[in-house]
Structure 1
């Protein structure tokens, strides 16, 4: 029997979580010019004075954080603790003439991972370099940002279609802050501003993959083994990693029509999480991928609505090759509205349709797990602000009626002071089958708590 990719299902979360949430809605409705900075001048001046008191030749901010978490049930393939890290982030910025230099570095101690060898691509080890870049404007209509940076665009809330920038799915599932869902890219971003439209061009000279589920911290269902797999047998990969040969290109052409923001997208690169398997070595691979997409976002009734779609053109021959992900069509519709005082609700419907489905069925070996032609996903977010907005209570639920599984995220955070915040939450997976996406992670359900001091 031919093996399907050991990591195909784990990579699958990229598809129905959308290419795959920081739980970020990348295109925000903008305030008119003149309102965005209203009332901030005095605060900015005070901040500058405080930074000058530090006596440093650059601006320095950051935080110190402790975070612990445990699984809510036993997992034979992982440790009982899901997270136990102490994290120090230092964010340095320096402006020199027309250039602004930024460096953001995280220092991590985590006995749960028990891995301190630095790997800047996977984020494992003692140091995670989040940003190291320079920003400048060589022309009035042009901005440039070169180096390691966090990139995002699109309209989804924790669902990504046209955002083909690296994600850290391990962070997302073990209880780190949602900002860590976004992994860094080593790229050149050029933004052009014209009278009727704007254009973003992002070139990545060497492929930046997701920090995908590989078994090191989260167990998953391996279709080749037909069983769960974890840290005792981590995924091995064949990475496209040649500079300027295994590169990526992402484009976004966008403009507003009244209050509605519209955009066209293009991506040429590779599946961000493993989407294939090397027949000879058994290693997971990252097949070539092109994506064409569009989005629109704007006010509807008393809230904000968004639509987004994308056509995923997988590597040649993917439809008839069970070792390579098929091409796909993806669609997202969402709506967000304040339904009571400081209570916001948001819903989304997501469709992922596998193309060349008949060829896919014909290519499967006997007894192999079969994907549905259509995967449906519904999300609900509820956010409540309390105690003069010093406390935030949030709930986010994914549910797939086609797979009959789901994933509930909940979080409560409280600002003790302007600089200190405490929080707690959980990641709870449920499903009737172990081979479905959320179902396979049931043994990874966890609760966590954290304390952060900002400076």
Structure 2
């Protein structure tokens, strides 16, 4: 378990402040609460993957094979609250020893009616999308997403200090981290990955070199949001300054080319509310590539405009359906395409993806059937996520699902993982 010294000091200081604020308090808002679960997860490949040594359904190299135990502790008083969430993981796939995954450990202080502060390790998210993102630039764990963990594990923890202001129906939030937390990407161990320098899918030993910014104050991240309501609609404005969450640039080193995370600034807005019998949401964001503002460096990603619009509708009889249209437009496209040979430009100027989610509850809502799918309209790739979840009792639930991927081009979002389709099962006992 690795926790930076800076965030450790912040948490310890926050806990001390929380204890001091709680001394001699007679009115306890809530008694301490302990909860958690024990879960076994197993994923199996459904096709041969030559990049991983030809492993298939019968081989013992699984995308995921683990036993996970989670404990959650919380306490709340008039002047603040404390929250801890910690996983103990025994992972057979990576052959690591049982290890601790500190998911969350933070203190929240209510300093005034209009002000509170939340400091420590926490899972952060905002925006309106259903598994699509424009303004949410908090880190994501794509390896967990593609290998059968619960969707909540798509968001990994980050070390943050968050300040929230409340006034006249408007909330303003500022979050900062002393170091950059990138997306957690497959590294060739559980899933094969695309190496752009070899133009092939490879395993861990041949994965492309990636340079991550040092974990220090010179590589910090800042997030901001202002939100409120107008009528029946929720609106929000967003800002970010940090780095692209995935490595989107190439550095030519003596040892060979390597990927790195260029600097990024973004700003955007979202809207969500009812429209007739539909629930609608929309987002838009401008991504400014700070290391290539003119778009003329072929080794650094260009600035972009990203956005989506979505509809959701309840059909009755416990049926729900939702769909989204997502698009990315590359700015200064002529300069971008000039860096490639004719006919070799990897991406079109405007790329679009559609999603569909269908959910049905049965057996007094103890059985949930769900299908979520992405269709890369311009990239010609797709990702399907069918799941079946059955609540055996108040304490026991079983989930069976699949992560199916394919695509015509190896460099696209889902095409790069086209040999990594898998089926999985999870059984969870909660307490």
- For normalisation by structure 2, the TM-score amounts to 0.87
Alignment partner of 1:283: what SS? strand
Give the alignment of 1:272-311 within 5 angstroms: 272-280=245-253, 281=255, 282-311=257-286
Query: Cα distance, 1:114 vs. partner?
Result: 1.8
Paired position in structure 1 for 2:33: 59
> Does 2:133 align with 1:157?
no
CA contact (8 A) 1:77 1:232 kept: no
Gap change, CA 1:179 and 1:242, over 3 Å in 2: closer
CA distance in 2, matches of 1:349, 1:424: 27
- Runs (4+) off by over 6 Å: none
- Unpaired stretches in structure 1, ≥5 consecutive residues: 1-47, 53-57, 117-124
Deviation at 1:243, TM superposition (A): 2.5
Match of 1:345 among 321, 327, 346: 321
8 A contact 2:243–2:262 mirrored in 1: yes
Aligned equivalent of 2:65, options 84, 99, 103: 84
Tell me, in whole angstroms, the C-alpha distance in 2 between the residues paired with 1:163 and 1:215: 26
1:76-101 CA-to-partner distances (Å, cap 9, x unmatched) read 22354211110011111233662322
Kept in 2: contact 1:381–1:397 (CA 8 A): yes
1:375-416 alpha-carbon deviations (Å, 9 max, x no partner): 110000000011001110000010012122111001000000
Q: Which of 258, 268, 271 lines up with 2:231 in the alignment?
A: 258
Any stretches of 5+ residues in structure 2 without a counterpart?
1-29, 57-61
Cα-Cα RMSD = 1.7
Q: What's the counterpart of residue 394 of structure 2?
A: 418
Instruction: Tell me if structure 1 keeps the 8 A contact 2:34–2:71.
Output: yes
**2:188 equivalent among 196, 215, 231:** 215
Report deviation, 1:436: 2.7
Q: CA deviation at 1:232?
A: 2.3
Distance 2:342 2:308 in 1: 34
Q: TM-score, normalised by structure 1?
A: 0.83
Q: Which of the residues 341, 363, 372 maps onto 1:387?
A: 363
The CA deviation string for residues 406-428 of structure 1, in whole angstroms up to 9 with x for no partner, is 11001000000001001100011
Contact 2:262–2:291 under 8 Å retained in 1: no
2:332 & 2:190 partners in 1: Cα distance? 34
Aligned residue pairs total 392
Task: Indicate which of 129, 139, 156 corresponds to 1:166.
Answer: 139
Report the structure, 1 or 2, having the larger strand content.
2
Q: 1:126: Cα distance to partner? A: 1.8
Does residue 1:113 correspond to 2:75, yes or no?
no
Alignment partner of 1:428 out of 404, 409, 413: 404
* Structure with greater contact order relative to length (CA < 8 Å, sep ≥ 6): 1
Alignment-derived partner of residue 374 in structure 1: 350
